[in-house]
Amino acid sequence: MKITKAESFVLHVPITPPITDAINVATHWGLAGVRIYTDEGFVGYGYTGTCAHGDDMIADTIDKYYAPLLIGKDPFMVKQLWDEMRFGKMHWIGRSGITHMALAAVDIALWDIMAKASNKPLWQYLGGAKSKRIEAYNTNGGWLNWSKERLLKDVTEIIESGFKGVKIKVGKPDPREDYDRCKAVRKAIGDNVIFMIDVNQQWNINTAMTWGKKLEEFDLFWLEEPLNPDDIMGHKKLADELNVPIALGEHVYNKYAFRDYIHHGAVEYCQVDVTRVGGITEWLQVAGLAASYDIPICPHVGDMGQIHQHLVASTQNAIMLEYIPWIRHIFVEPVTVRDGQYVLPEMPGASTEIIPELFAEYRVR
């Protein structure tokens, strides 16, 4: 099998109503990705996610630097191709962010082709699942721009629908407001529901230490990304001194950075995101590294559950998966969640193929 064409795309899917966390206001979810065509008729879809800004830079990286390396190559040589892209010309420009997100999109598309050509869903192609269902937690009721009344209504409905875990955003200018919202949510959902909070990097070490200790009373499952994601030692200090586990990984872009976090004991739940590290190839390496330290994998999703469901199903130290349903309707085989659990997909591939009519409707490049 040979690759005949690789072309980038950018889709902007509306988010209704718009949402905010401590660093983003999102009216659309952006998919910056690639379709890779082969001489045997298989087409692979891969993408990374944005809040609908910066997409063009990712697409340009794919078209100008990665796509030319693929033409005429066998997609089953994915690890060789990964090395050529990772350590090629773009290595000198950047080893995280845009270059790695573009690499992730290409790598996911290659794995999609391999699974399709093998007539297996990706989770099966990767060696099989450890369970027929994946425990899910829901983030879609906890946005920072929700009023407290809307917040409590949404988290209550989420639990009533079968989810056993919820996550809300914090990072208000006044942490006392975060405290009040957390107190109200814990009271609304009861003591037996998993409850996480996500700071989205808004605190400094002193704020995180002070308010992390105050929030311990709400039996938090984890405190997510409290500090700048480059601050390994700050996160280590929090992990050492707080009685709340530290979760992070959505802004950690390669296995070497994860190695340093893990080696220093600065992360207790590893949220490696396949669309931000170098795709499936590097995600599997990070998962194996975390397993050797007995650290659970709980990927950051940002509505990238389509691909992550395969990885969590087939990874022994992956324990649960975030659920955000913004874009599930655009896929040929959308994610299915029943009673708070992902149901494994059945179609061959990585579940990344997009319905043609909706691809055309949302395409902006």
3-state secondary structure of 235: helix
H or E element: which one contains 103?
helix 98-117
Residue 290 has φ and ψ, to the nearest 5°, of -60, -40
CA distance 312 to 243: 26
**Given 3-state DSSP classes, what are the helix, strand and coil percentages for the chain, each rounded to the nearest 5?**
40, 20, 40
CA distance 266 to 248: 9
224: β partners: 198, 247
Closest CA relative to residue 36, chosen from 11, 7, 64: 7
Residue 138 has φ and ψ, to the nearest 5°, of -110, 130
Structure tokens at 269: 């739940």
Catalytic residue among 169, 235, 251, 255: 169
Residue 354 DSSP class? B
Cβ count within 10 A of residue 6: 23
Is the distance from CB of 322 to CB of 300 less than 8 angstroms? yes
Structure tokens at 284: 């599997």
Query: Is 300 an active-site residue?
Result: yes
CA distance 118 to 202: 45
Residue 265 has φ and ψ, to the nearest 5°, of 70, 30
CA distance 294 to 178: 31
Query: Is 308 an active-site residue?
Result: no
3-state secondary structure of 59: helix
Catalytic residue among 100, 300, 308, 310: 300
CA distance 268 to 256: 17
Please, what is the end-to-end C-alpha distance for the chain in angstroms?
A: 28
**Would you name the residues annotated as active-site residues?**
169, 300
